[in-house]
């Protein structure tokens, strides 16, 4: 049994990690803000420490006596968040956690980065861990913030701190309280189906497989290494069709040509600057025209293969929202 701190432990991924740690017999401490929603872990026997990763003193206090730290706290909803806040949490917050871990002498840090911190190949084939971040920061500030956070990780590793970096692709599954990927299910279930499907594709994975990989990484991941976590490569057209089948909605039938993504993105961003509130961010549109595909073979060989299918993940996500009254269950079309 070890004592583990989970930053972001009340959130989507963090809560699943907390639950798996408890089920594995470990002692768990959660660093959270006073305003954090705790319903995902309210039934678990864990210690709560109030603080914030941007507050170095509270991080040091939370890490006292811990063997492991899982640093999952981050601002991921870049289309809603202020960029300054996102960089403060994702970069400065990571630096605080790493420094506190060094002071506390922890045996292992598992840092939750993102596949967003990895670049795209010119030939559109899946990228592996060796491809450097190469998207315009102004287009993808979230990916850029995670790229900068990984620089902090490498500095800490070079100074002797044992850190394993995990790079999850798009995460689906039950428990997405803040509607990050979950909005792709909730909105169609509420009748908000876009008229077009994007031309691009993504690699994705279920949250439970991501959480399980974190525990394995703490035990046998190699310090200084990064591991891409992915389970399925799926075109947006296929994804929208499957989601709409599950929630009982009509899927979009018209493609949004890649050539139109850039001008449409510019138009959406211009309208947003004039104060018009739109259901989509221009940079999301720009990214959705690209094949954001990643090679997870390294993680599969070291951490194990994902177990949850795409359909099962989406169905479980849908039913989780239905059970909580966030969407009404419909008769399938």
Token pair belonging to 73 = 């706290």
Q: Could you give the CA distance from residue 314 to residue 186 in angstroms, rounded to a whole number?
A: 11
- Adjacent-strand bridge partners of 166: 112, 227
Positive or negative CA dihedral for 12, 17, 18, 22?
positive
- For residue 67, CA distances in Å to 4, 61, 80, 162, 239 come to 6, 14, 35, 11, 40
211 burial (CB, 10 Å; 0-12 / 13-18 / 19+) is buried
- Per the CB < 8 A criterion, the answer to whether 111 and 166 are in contact is yes
Output the DSSP codes for 120-131.
--TT-PPB-TTS
- For residue 218, CA distances in Å to 61, 69, 112 come to 21, 9, 12
35 burial (CB, 10 Å; 0-12 / 13-18 / 19+) is exposed
Q: 41: helix, coil or strand?
A: coil
Helix (H) or strand (E) holding 291: strand 291-292
Token pair belonging to 110 = 């598992």
- Adjacent-strand bridge partners of 229: 168
Q: Could you give the CA distance from residue 330 to residue 333 in angstroms, rounded to a whole number?
A: 9
- Largest Cα–Cα separation, the chain: 58
* Marked catalytic residue, from 142, 197, 318, 321: 142
- Catalytic annotation on 142? yes
Q: Which residue has the tokens 């599950």?
A: 246
- Known catalytic residues are 142
């Amino acid at each position: 049994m070890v004592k583990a701190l989970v930053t972001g432990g009340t959130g989507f991924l963090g809560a699943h990690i907390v639950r798996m740690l408890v089920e594995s017999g470990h002692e768990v401490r959660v660093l959270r803000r006073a305003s954090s929603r705790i319903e995902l872990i309210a039934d678990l026997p864990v210690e709560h420490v109030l603080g914030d990763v941007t507050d170095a003193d509270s991080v040091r206090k939370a890490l006292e006596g811990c063997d492991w730290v899982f640093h999952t706290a981050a601002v991921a909803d870049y289309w809603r968040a202020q960029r300054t806040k996102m960089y403060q949490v994702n970069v400065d917050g990571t630096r605080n956690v790493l420094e506190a871990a060094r002071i506390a002498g922890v045996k292992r840090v598992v840092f939750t980065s993102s596949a967003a911190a990895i670049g795209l190949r010119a030939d559109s084939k899946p990228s592996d861990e060796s491809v450097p971040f190469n998207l315009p920061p102004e287009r993808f500030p979230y990916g850029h913030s995670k790229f900068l956070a990984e620089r902090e990780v490498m500095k800490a590793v070079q100074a002797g701190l044992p850190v394993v970096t995990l790079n999850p692709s798009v995460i689906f599954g039950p428990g997405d309280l803040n509607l990050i990927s979950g909005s792709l299910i909730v909105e169609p279930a509420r009748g908000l189906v876009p008229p077009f499907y994007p031309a691009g594709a993504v690699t994705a994975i279920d949250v439970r497989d991501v959480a399980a990989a974190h525990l394995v990484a703490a035990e046998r991941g190699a310090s200084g290494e990064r591991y891409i976590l992915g389970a399925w490569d799926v075109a947006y057209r296929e994804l929208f069709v499957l989601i709409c089948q599950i929630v009982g909605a009509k899927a979009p039938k018209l493609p949004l040509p890649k050539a139109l993504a850039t001008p449409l993105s510019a138009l959406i961003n211009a309208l947003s600057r004039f104060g018009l509130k739109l259901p989509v961010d221009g940079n999301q549109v720009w990214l959705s025209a690209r094949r954001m595909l990643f090679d997870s073979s390294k993680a599969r060989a070291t951490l194990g293969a994902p177990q949850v299918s795409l359909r099962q993940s989406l169905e479980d996500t849908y039913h989780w929202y239905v059970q909580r009254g966030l969407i009404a269950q419909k008769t399938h079309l």
